[in-house]
Amino acid sequence: MTVQISPSILSADFTDLAREVARIAPAADWVHVDVMDAHFVPNLTIGLPVVERLAQVSELPLDCHLMIADPDRWAPSYAEAGARSVTFHAEAVSAPVRLARELRARGARAGMALNPATPIEPYADLLPELDMLLLMTVEPGFGGQKFLDLVLPKLRRTRELVSRSGAQVWLQVDGGVAADTVERVVEAGADVLVAGSAVYGAEDPAEAVRGLRQLAAQ
C-alpha cells in the first residue's frame, strides 16, 4: 500500500484552523486532529464542538486521535461529528471490541493507539476488529518531541502480526516523524505517517508534505 500522510494540526495556528487545514489540503491524505483532555495526557487541546465544525469545513477527512480518559463514553460522538477515523488509546479503553464496533457502526474507521511502552502482543486477537493501529513514537501529549527509535522493533513485530492475520489494518506512526525518520518508519512497516512540527513548522506546509511523501516512496 502507498504511504499516506496525515499532518497533525497540533502544531498549527489554533485561531485559524479552517485556513490551516486548507493549506495542507492539496498535498495531504488526512488531517490528524489531536484531542487531549488534561487527564489521560498532561495537555489540553480541542474537543467535540471544534471537531464538529472542522468536519464541516475540511476538504480532508478527519483522523481523530483521542488522548482522553474514558473513550468508551466519548469516542462514538466523534464518529457522529463526522470524523472519518477515530482512534482511542489501549491504555484508556475498557471494552475495545465493543467500542471499535460502535465506531464502525457509526461509519468511522476504528483505530487503537499504543503508547511507546505498551506491547502489541496482548491485542493480537483484536486485529480483525480494527481498521488502524497507531504506534506512538513519542510519549503522547506534545508536539515537537524526539522520535523514539525503541518503538521500531514493535513496529516490525506489528507489521508481521498484521500480515499473518490477513486483517486489513493500517499501521500509523505518530511522534517525531520528519525528514530524518521517515525512511526508518516506512522500512519498519508504517503505512500512515503523522507529522506535526515537520509540516506546520515549515514555511510551506503542503511542500513539506510532498517532501515527506517523496522520502517515503524511496
How many residues make up the chain in this entry?
218
Restricting to residues 63-82, name those near Zn ion by CB under 5 A.
65
Taking CB atoms within 8 Å and a gap of at least 24, the contacts of 73-78 are 74/48, 75/99, 75/102, 75/103, 76/102, 76/103, 76/106, 77/48, 78/35, 78/48, 78/51, 78/108
Minimum Å gap between C-beta 146 and ligand DX5 is: 9
Q: Which is nearer to Zn ion, 3 or 124 (CB)?
A: 3
Which of Zn ion, ligand DX5, none lies near 96, with the C-beta cut-off 5 to 8 A by kind? none
Site for Zn ion in 86-115 (CB under 5 A): none
Residue 111 assigned ligand-binding role: no
Helix axes 48-57, 17-24, angle to 10 degrees: 50
CB of 174 to ligand DX5, least distance (A): 5
Number of residues that bind ligand DX5 (CB under 6 A): 22
144 sits near ligand DX5 (criterion: CB under 6 A): yes
DSSP-based three-state secondary structure for 202: coil
Is residue 29 part of the annotated active site? The answer reads no
Beta bridge partners of 132: 111, 170
Binding mask 32-51 for ligand DX5 (x = CB under 6 A): x-x-----------------
* Residue 174 is assigned to a ligand binding site: yes
d(CA 180, CA 184): 8
**3-class DSSP assignment, residue 104:** helix
Stretch that binds Zn ion, among 28-36, 89-97, 100-108, 209-217 (CB under 5 A): 28-36
Window contacting ligand DX5 (CB under 6 A); options: 20-28, 101-109, 119-127, 142-150: 142-150
Q: Which residues contact 180 (CB under 8 A, 6 or more apart)?
A: none
**Whose CA is closest to 35, among 56, 19, 55?**
55
CB 77 → ligand DX5: shortest distance, Å? 19
Active site residue 16: no
Tell me which residue has cell 489540503: 25
Instruction: Round to whole Å and give the CA distance between 14 and 215.
Output: 28
Give residues in contact with Zn ion (CB under 5 A): 34, 65, 174
Sequence ranges of the binding site for a divalent metal cation = 32, 34, 65, 174
Residues found near ligand DX5 in the complex (CB under 6 A): 8, 10-11, 32, 34, 65, 138, 140-145, 174-177, 194-198
Q: Known catalytic residues?
A: 34, 174
